[in-house]
Structure 1
Amino acid sequence: MIDGGPRPVAPFSHAVEGGGWVMLTGQMPTDPAAPDGPLPEGIDAQTRRVMENLEVVLDGLGLALSDVAQCRCYLTAFERDYAAFNEVYQGYFPAERRPARTTIGVTALAVGALVEIDCLARRPD
């Protein structure tokens, strides 16, 4: 668990590491400073909050988004939100160094979120 990281919404760790690979659990758009507060409104704000939460967890491990090799993204309103999600998401990675990614439409997410993202990072050699 990462000090100051988002409060888990289920029984899991923020991340697990093995062999230089770090698996980050899916992050929700909750505010670590106000975990019981309302979620941000809309896919843009929720995507930013999720990405910020990933950065908090990565930073707590001495890593950054530049160490991310792969992301899995989950959207509850795929057709409606996919384009807007991509607009926000792409701003967190340089075009020449984007991680591999899969985006999946799902029927629901914990805490009523519109988006959740998990990722796999690699510790630099």
Structure 2
Amino acid sequence: MSPPPPPATSGLPAVPDDATIQDILGVAIFDMNGLPREYYVTPSNTETSWVQTVFQALGLKSLLTASLRLEGFQHIVIHTAEHAAVVIRQKNCYTALLMRGLASEAITETFVDWVRQFEAETLRNSPYFRAA
């Protein structure tokens, strides 16, 4: 029996060598205030409870930035027992990806640049992601 074909990824940015599209379990788009705007689920995971954790982390980031005058936020990684959520700052939003088995060392500049290419319109039109 042959393995199942990879999911359709047309319109999505090319995946870096150290990740595959199947490693993405969900995507959430947040505005620059850290409020969630859109969630996307995948065939292998329809759960969105992780978005609350990202929302809380973005709130904490805002508090720390204001209190400590921290600048230059580019990304954060939130590890859970089973997954990791990677939050990347884009020009007009934050994009969070729920990833399967992602180690902190996998967050390379190439990976961050790849996530920055995600746009809500691309996700809306992708056969791999479904709005939740």
Q: Normalising to structure 2: TM-score of the pair? A: 0.26
Structure showing greater Rg? 2
